[in-house]
Structure 1
Amino acid sequence: MSFNQSVIDEFRANQGKVGGYFEGSDLLLLTTTGAKSGEERTVPLGYVRHGDHLLIIGSNLGGPKHPDWYHNVLAHPLVEVEIGADSFEAVAVPAEGARRDRLFTHVVTTEPGYGEYQENTSRVLPVVVLERSDPAPGEGPAEVRSLADKLVEVHVWLRGQLRHVSAEVDAYFETSAAYEGEGAAPAPGLGLQIRQHCLAFCQTLEIHHTGEDAHIFPAMEAHNPHLKDVFERLRTEHVTVARLQGELSSLLGDITDADPERFRKELARMSEELNTHLDHEEEALLPLLAEVPFPPGPPAA
């Protein structure tokens, strides 16, 4: 058994408490999706709190290369976080520029060892912000008891990510315009942050629609043949939304060279079509899903 796996097992067996090298440390478990393999990988990591967020550092003990988990979160920003007995989903967002420097100063003030790691390597240690992706208070169902509740929960998250991306895009272009007006190059600041939220949104949307097309819709259609036209329309909308998110991802490839007007227009177009699709899906499916328990119970004997 590897050292990491022994720490993971001890962590989970004792609600986040471990002994030995990590005894007394603030420790979490981070589960990422492999950038190349697509497989889940879990690693124990130290963390530092900053307001409502958790900060993790790509220190790799001061080694010359970024750790594997950092490359994973760049490819797949949605991660699972375990702290104590609690677990939750988060979006991993590496900080950039001046924000990264401010956060790293906070980290070193709290945990000076990270400053020593930085001194031992020529690379800039990444500071990754874990943004918990729970719905805001008052949004979504208070408790998920049915498949209808689960559908609403996913839709609330998707709508929230779209609003988040839109707000960050506006902030980015406003900042860029201000810097250009002063004759200086635009400060980066939000490019990677926008990319991570957009990527998390697109990946979640793809998983959501794939699951509906492959499993939920066929099962529901078999029991509700009179709704065949409804499911056909939803499948057609899935194709349209997939095309739009592909266009947006391509546009986002290098936001520093993106045309602000075109970018905002594409984002607004996608947001409008997606929200119309989500509204129609809820209108058509929620009454049918309200009696289906979630998570599903054990199969009948």
Structure 2
Amino acid sequence: MPTSSQSFSFHQSVIDEFRANGGKVGGPFEGGDLLLLTTTGARSGASRTTPLGYVRHGDSLLVVASDLGGPRHPGWYHNLLAHPVVRVELGAARFEALAVPAEGARRDELFAHVVRVAPGYADHQARTRRVVPVVVLERAEPEGWEGPARVRTLADKLLEVHTWLRGQLHHVRTEVEAHFAARAAHRGPGEPPAPGLGLQIRQRCLAFCQALEFHHTSEDGHLFPGIARHHPHLSDVFDRLAEEHRTVARLQDGLAALLAGVHIADPDRFRAELAEMSAELNAHLDHEEEALLPLLADVPWPPQRPRPTP
């Protein structure tokens, strides 16, 4: 059995070859469908890149946490549970994706699809007593996003981030409704089945909250002070935005707690609370755009590096 250092060395050689040849590698992966998945360490917070086989399913990519049939889930799977937004390298393309493990009947359906395309995964499942997870990788860019050419100013970038945040919040609400519909359709004795969208809702909520927290930390620490130096007359605006960030942080905690109890919640009360939180969050984004977009419209993105003095 290879040592951990040998395994790391092999993985790194595959990564280097992949990046040097536009996604093409030789050896045991030659001719196969391979991507690079970069996750954020659940404990360390460090970036970790792993070469993985994948299977296409519609517009999504599927990766399987089989670890060749090992007894435990691989480290990259635990990482994406803690940090759902991952980076995918596919051929010469790089993009962010939301990683959502499938559950219940959907997991079984997707695993059957994987096995039809790549039968070896059936052997991996046969070697272990754990249920091998199937993870759906969905592009994280906002719907209609056409690539970095559209983002020319810092105003464009702010609007892109807000569009993504609004999209994730909309997805959370849609999946909550699907969960309540499944509960309402349950017939027969016994309790309704456990929510099949539990992980999906959790991952979207976590991605939304982490992205919003990072966005606000960047604004409070860098963006707002930089603008305020050039526009001191807007200090009241930035004070209000900073106060709203504290309110949004409270809403984030409330949203996470609310979604954690979706499987036992009263649908009408849950919908009302979720709608109220969503309205407050969207109102914050609206106000931020009204206050900041005119100020950022002439600031180039990405930031221009100063030219070296001769």
Q: TM bucket by the smaller chain? A: over 0.9
Whole-Å Cα distance in 1 between the matches of residues 181 and 190 of structure 2? 14
Relative to structure 1, the CA distance from residue 243 to residue 95 in structure 2 (aligned partners, 3 Å threshold; closer, same or farther) is: same
Whole-Å Cα distance in 2 between the matches of residues 254 and 29 of structure 1? 35
Whole-Å Cα distance in 2 between the matches of residues 156 and 184 of structure 1? 42
CA displacement, residues 77-130 of structure 1 (integer Å, 9 cap, x when unaligned): 100000000011111000000000010000001000000001111111000000
Counterpart secondary structure, 2:180 = helix
Task: Report the counterpart of residue 119 of structure 1 in structure 2.
Answer: 126
Letter in 2 for 1:186: P
Counterpart secondary structure, 1:152 = helix
Whole-Å Cα distance in 1 between the matches of residues 292 and 14 of structure 2? 44
Unaligned runs of 5+ in 1: none
Task: Report the counterpart of residue 183 of structure 2 in structure 1.
Answer: 176
How do 1:127-138 and structure 2 match up within 5 A?
127-137=134-144
Letter in 2 for 1:203: Q
How do 1:220-239 and structure 2 match up within 5 A?
220-239=227-246
Whole-Å Cα distance in 2 between the matches of residues 107 and 122 of structure 1? 19
- Does residue 258 of structure 2 align to residue 251 of structure 1? yes
CA displacement, residues 248-273 of structure 1 (integer Å, 9 cap, x when unaligned): 11222243223333332232122111
Task: Report the counterpart of residue 106 of structure 1 in structure 2.
Answer: 113
- Does residue 173 of structure 2 align to residue 155 of structure 1? no
Task: Report the counterpart of residue 185 of structure 1 in structure 2.
Answer: 191
Unaligned runs of 5+ in 2: 1-7
Cα root mean square deviation, aligned: 1.6
Whole-Å Cα distance in 1 between the matches of residues 147 and 201 of structure 2? 24
- Does residue 38 of structure 2 align to residue 31 of structure 1? yes
- Does residue 220 of structure 2 align to residue 218 of structure 1? no
User: How much does 1:278 deviate?
Assistant: 0.9
Whole-Å Cα distance in 2 between the matches of residues 7 and 61 of structure 1? 17
Counterpart secondary structure, 1:274 = helix
Whole-Å Cα distance in 2 between the matches of residues 66 and 262 of structure 1? 37
Whole-Å Cα distance in 2 between the matches of residues 166 and 142 of structure 1? 31
Q: 1:201 aligns with which of 208, 211, 218?
A: 208
CA displacement, residues 140-180 of structure 1 (integer Å, 9 cap, x when unaligned): 9970011000000000000000110001001101211221x
Task: Report the counterpart of residue 90 of structure 1 in structure 2.
Answer: 97
Task: Report the counterpart of residue 3 of structure 2 in structure 1.
Answer: none
User: How much does 1:287 deviate?
Assistant: 1.0
Relative to structure 1, the CA distance from residue 150 to residue 13 in structure 2 (aligned partners, 3 Å threshold; closer, same or farther) is: same
User: How much does 1:275 deviate?
Assistant: 1.0
Assess if the C-alpha contact under 8 Å between 1:146 and 1:292 holds in 2: yes
Whole-Å Cα distance in 2 between the matches of residues 186 and 292 of structure 1? 54
Whole-Å Cα distance in 2 between the matches of residues 285 and 255 of structure 1? 35
